[in-house]
Amino acid sequence: MESIKKTFDEPVESLILYLRGQKVMLDADLARLYGVQTRILNQAIKRNIERFPEDFMFQLSKSEKSELVTNCDRFKNLKYSTSLPNAFTEHGSVMLASVLNSLLAVRVSVNIVRAFIRFREMLLTNQELTMRLDSLEQKYDQQFKIVFDAIRELMKPPEEIKKPIGFRLQNTDQEIETLRVMA
């Protein structure tokens, strides 16, 4: 019972990624949630591969794996892995419960389904808000255009500011010139 309680403390929503236009979870994250090693999980999948068609599971490409490792610190363990991770859609992650066939697997799959549902609801809520805003904008004249534009700006996801890579001197040009004269 202790391991089941521990599993529910996991922030499952934070483990859902958006790859190839689909919401997915990686095999390593699912293995951790189901309380098994990743290799054990993948062995169970290979024994039951007919349960995992392409719309349930796909393997990441080398470039996708590289991008994940580069952009997300939690995937640093994948950097030196020789195998490519598997990504599971909502249906594929639930199918794992039938393959693993344990009480913990069943309870975790319920938790995963709920996380995907919450994720879907968040997206729908944002779409509904956009539609309502559109209808209000059409109903009222230009007098509220500034307000609508401001609300739309707040609804946009924040843009990631990428810092340039490389070494930068902290000294100003004047300080560098002073250092040259002194040398």
pLDDT per position as a tens digit, 3-32: 434 444 557 778 888 888 888 989 988 888
Taking the complete model, does pTM exceed 0.75, yes or no? no
Q: What is the CB neighbour count within 10 angstroms for residue 153?
A: 8
User: Residues 98-146: pLDDT tens digits?
Assistant: 787 666 776 777 777 777 777 777 766 777 777 777 776 666 666 666 6
pLDDT of the residue at 1: 35
Q: What is the CA radius of gyration of the chain?
A: 24
How large is the average pLDDT for residues 41-61? 91
Highest mean pLDDT among 80-89, 96-105, 137-146, 174-183: 80-89
Higher-confidence residue of 173 and 98: namely 98
Tokens coding 157: 């996801």
Q: Work out whether the CA dihedral 150, 153, 155, 161 comes out positive or negative.
A: negative
Higher-confidence residue of 55 and 161: namely 55
List, in sequence order, every residue forming a beta bridge with 181; answer none if it has no partner. none
Helical H segments across the chain, by residue range: 2-8, 27-34, 38-47, 62-71, 90-100, 103-139, 145-155, 173-182
Query: Considering only CA atoms, which of 107, 82, 80, 78 is closest in space to residue 94?
Result: 107
